[in-house]
Homo-oligomer: A and B are copies of this chain.
Amino acid sequence: MRLSELSARSGVPTATIKYYLREGLLPPGERLSASRSEYGEAHLRRLRLVRSLIQVGGMSVARTKDVLRAAEDETLDQHEQFGAAQVALMGGGGPQGVALEPGAKAQETVDELLAEFGWEQCGNIPAYWMLVGAVASLERLGYPCDLAQLRPYAAAVEPVARFDLEVVGRYPAGDERLEAVVALTVLNEPVLLALRRIAHAHVSGSMPQGQAPARQTLS
């Protein structure tokens, strides 16, 4: 298909597609002449992925590029690609981004939790430091975040993670599976957060008044 059809089918303006092409977020099409190229279904899929990472995932163009590059690195095996994509997704966050006050128990607490769940080998991945930072923030605000506080959260995500990996495994190995890893890791995050808040509303019985479920009118 031509650029105009790629734009129509993806809903992404042609100027934006050209920008993504220049930035390397989208591989070039097959060149037909100096001003025309042909694009395939893989371009369409990639374009939708890029748009979602940026618009839904709130990622920067530079971060999106890192994630796609890591996921495409053919010198890594499947597991390493998954790991590299995850590191890039988190911006390679390490201890330097975490402000720990002297005496902060956050890291000790997180290590105890990981040991309890048999996840010790996950120390030092970006998500580990994200967790240490979040626990430290809670503690600093005076909300004790000890093992008893973290345990229900860890217990809740374990089956979710097993399910996620099973879903990803249904996609054909290679490009498609890597795109699924990236897309499902990021795009299911708002699903998880929204459901937690819906469950809060249900458990607390605290629905805003006078709001009955309404159906959106589709134009």
Residues of A within 8 A of B (CB): 45, 48-49, 52, 56, 79-80, 82-84, 86-87, 89-90, 95, 98, 100, 102-104, 107, 111, 114, 117-128, 130-135, 137-138, 140-143, 145, 149-150, 152-165, 167, 180, 183-185, 187-209, 211-216, 218-219
A75 CB → nearest B CB, Å? 12
Residues of B within 8 A of A49 (CB): 141
Q: Are B200 and A165 in contact (CB under 8 A)?
A: yes
Residues of B within 8 A of A209 (CB): 80, 83
Q: Are A208 and B80 in contact (CB under 8 A)?
A: yes
Q: Are A107 and B191 in contact (CB under 8 A)?
A: no
Q: Are B191 and A134 in contact (CB under 8 A)?
A: yes
* A-B contact sample (4 more), CB < 8 A, given A124-B211, A128-B213, A131-B194: A118-B202, A124-B213, A137-B187, A164-B200
A143, A152, A189, A212 interface centre (most CB from chain B within 10 Å) = A143
Q: Are A206 and B161 in contact (CB under 8 A)?
A: no
Closest to A138 in B: B187
Closest to A205 in B: B79
Closest to A189 in B: B193
Q: Are A160 and B213 in contact (CB under 8 A)?
A: no
Closest to A135 in B: B191
Q: Are B152 and A163 in contact (CB under 8 A)?
A: yes
A8 CB → nearest B CB, Å? 13
A154 touches which one: B104, B128, B195, B201 (CB < 8 A)?
B195
Give 4 nearest A-B pairs by CB, closest first. A123-B213, A161-B199, A127-B197, A131-B194
